[in-house]
Structure 1
């Protein structure tokens, strides 16, 4: 599954006023989680997550937006079908993976790439007068209202309801689907869109997605750095990592219903005496010491990458699967004795 990186930035400049601020506006058909990075004194701080319903605008910084560089990132909620949709750039900054956060130390995620997101840059101008708005948009141009309609259409589709095309138009198919959903959930009758129905749809979509996918679980007593390889079109495979799993932790590696009949998994335990990779590998793929996402259409050496042996796992038509890293899967420590 290829992760799609996509970013568009629009801004609105307004005259200076007493309520100068920085705002986000979601003009996409996706429900989003968004974050911002900014200079706070002598440090670079990051703050999030703000949930943005489709069509929702929200103030994220109540203080005056000073001229200079800010950093912005947003990702679709996990409940949306398909690969993760992001509005992103090239600047890696720290986040928490869940809940609201306010980080003033960018060293906290140095050893955990899964706590990093790639923010895009925003240059706030002097002419903005302290007010700035970043719009999250799609190739389809939506107004605030049509984004709300398109968001409901997408969320209904995510939970398996036919609401017509995701086009932002409140046609009869969308009206009928929304009215039926509201009735099923015990909400006020009709096909009106309000915060309550959108939040209920988000909750249902996320609950549905939570049951699907490929999960890695660490059943060892040491942190495991994990990676995966999956088939692409033709005979090409894509390998990517790293997910750091603390002892007892589980993490979703592939979202959505599993569509492939097999995957290749890799893990390594860092040991003072030397790394202990997973054994029983069936096929070699490219890896790197830092985060990687590469295809095997070129030799690893030609991409300045290392090579590692991944273990094959069969899916057997299941929509979801847990893969457990256990102590016996890994090479023995360099010194006598096991883990």
Structure 2
């Protein structure tokens, strides 16, 4: 899971459709955090979350065009997750106002403070509110607009 290039100025911004797990489905329930890439490009995804030990950021998952990937398996440990994604093919990124630590190669980083002093990069992440569901799917889509307003 490595990022192939530095992102260009933001060409693609977030227009995410968020879908919770169906409670009425008769099939066995799977509790995971999933990401679906509905764009026509390959994307690299990093996530951030707070658990009992504090803040963690992880990356990179490489997701092909019109494909889905499980990012975290099991019942979700947090209500809010944070996402930063990079469009490998056309440049640009999905970003937000929450600043967390990343690296150019595969990583798991504890803590979101002093990223640069600790030898990491800083990146903006957008917030996803799972509504305390046990599983959640985040959908990345192409857009020419800006990120939706925050509640």
Q: TM-score, normalised by structure 1?
A: 0.33
Structure 2 spans left out of the alignment, 5+ residues: 3-26, 147-151
How many aligned residue pairs are there? 122
Equivalent position of 2:92 in the other structure: 276
Deviations 1:148-189 (A, max 9, x none): xxxxxxxxxxxxxxxxxxxxxxxxxxxxxxxxxxxxxxxxxx
* Residues 1:322 and 2:140 are matched in the alignment: no
Match of 1:250 in 2: 68
Shift of 1:221: 0.4
SS at match of 1:231: strand
Q: Which residue of 1 aligns with 2:115?
A: 300
Question: Residue 320 and residue 330 in structure 1: after superposition, are their counterparts in 2 closer, same or farther (change >3 A)?
Answer: farther
Runs of 4 or more above 6 Å deviation: none
By how many angstroms is 1:298 displaced?
4.2
What is the distance in 2 between the residues matched to 1:213 and 1:329?
30
Greater helix fraction, Structure 1 or Structure 2: 1
Kindly report which structure 2 residues correspond to 1:113-132, keeping only aligned pairs within 5 A, or say none: none
Aligned partners of 1:218 and 1:326 also within 8 Å: yes
Cα deviation digits, residues 244-289 of structure 1 (max 9, x gap): 00001111111111231111011011246xx41113x131011111
Structure of higher RCO (CA pairs closer than 8 Å, 6+ residues apart): 2
Post-superposition CA distance 1:184-226 (Å, at most 9, x none): xxxxxxxxxxxxxxxxxxxxxxx957x2111001100000100
Aligned residue in 2 for 1:168: none
**SS of residue in 2 equivalent to 1:302:** coil
Structure 1 vs Structure 2 CA RMSD: 2.3
Q: Does the CA-based 8 Å contact 2:36-2:67 persist in structure 1?
A: yes
What is the deviation of 1:232?
Answer: 2.8
Structure 1 unmatched runs, 5+:
1-111, 114-206, 332-339
Alignment of 1:98-247 (within 5 A): 112=1, 208=28, 211-233=30-52, 236-247=54-65
Judge conservation of contact 2:63–2:69 (CA < 8 Å) in 1.
yes
Question: Comparing both structures, which one devotes a greater share of its residues to strand?
Answer: 2
- 1:278 to 1:330, Cα distance in 2 relative to 1, 3 A: farther
- Scaled by the length of structure 2, what TM-score is found? 0.72
2:102 corresponds to 1:287: yes
Bigger Rg, which one: 1
